[in-house]
Each structure stands twice: as structure tokens, then as C-alpha cells.
A = this chain, B = another copy of it.
Amino acid sequence: MTVRQQPAKEHRRTRQRAAVDEVLDETEDFISAQELHSLLRARGAGVGLATVYRTLQTLADDGRVDVLRSDAGEAVYRRCVREEHHHHLVCRSCGATVEIAGPTVERWAKSVADQHGYADVSHTLEIFGTCPRCRA
């Protein structure tokens, strides 16, 4: 049988999605749906809030953007350079993000889960700190 990594669903190209895409491409830091919505409105290319949420949701599902939760529990999104699985080193005060790959950690997580009989394993790993620039 043919195995396909991503069922690559067809999505229609619309002005709204292009607009969201553009903002994501220009934004280095993690951004919330609400912030993205405001940016779009300010920029003239208005897009409905629900649409922003749906678009980000879809992008996340397709693995085209990374999602994590801010301290406030709000979902924040970011278009990363790496396509493959990775993690982040995020500045607590300015949001500056460094993409991190940790093969060792990946193996460790998998092995720990296996040891306890847990299947369908996933994990979250983020590192927070204060970046050089934010330290005067």
C-alpha cells in the first residue's frame, strides 16, 4: 500500500488566506490570532476574525505553522524556517525565537513512552530565557 506523509488536502486560494500567509511570513515572533487579526485590519486588508482562526487552525493542522501557548494560555502561531519537527528557545520578554533540533531528546521521549506502554506518542518542549539583547 502507498504511504503518504501528509494527506495534502486541497485548499482553495483566497485573498484572506494569502493575507494571513503574508503576515506570517513577515513576522519573526510568535503571534496570536487576535494580534494577527488586528495587524490585518490595520494594514487595510481586513479579514474576519473567525476566518483568521480557521486559517491558522488549518495551517497548524497541516503542519505549516507551529503553535504553542503563551503564559496566559493563549494560542500563538509562527511560521518556522525548519519544516521538520523542532522546538524553540524563546525570549520571555521580547519573544525572540531560536529554532532548536534535539535528536537525543526525541529518542529519549519515545523510549520513555515505550517503556511505560504508551502509544501514539507526541511531546511538547520549549525553552524560555532572557535573550542577550534584552539583558542590556
Chain A residues within CB distance 8 Å of chain B: 2, 69, 73, 75, 89, 91-92, 98, 100, 102, 104-105, 108-109, 112-113, 116-132, 135
Contact = CB atoms under 8 A, between A and B. Distances in A.
12 contacts: A69-B73, A73-B73, A100-B112, A109-B127, A112-B127, A113-B129, A118-B129, A122-B128, A122-B129, A123-B127, A123-B128, A124-B126
Contact of A98 (B75, B102, B116): B116
A115 to B, nearest CB: 9
Contacts of A116: 89, 98, 131-132
Contacts of A124: 124-126, 128
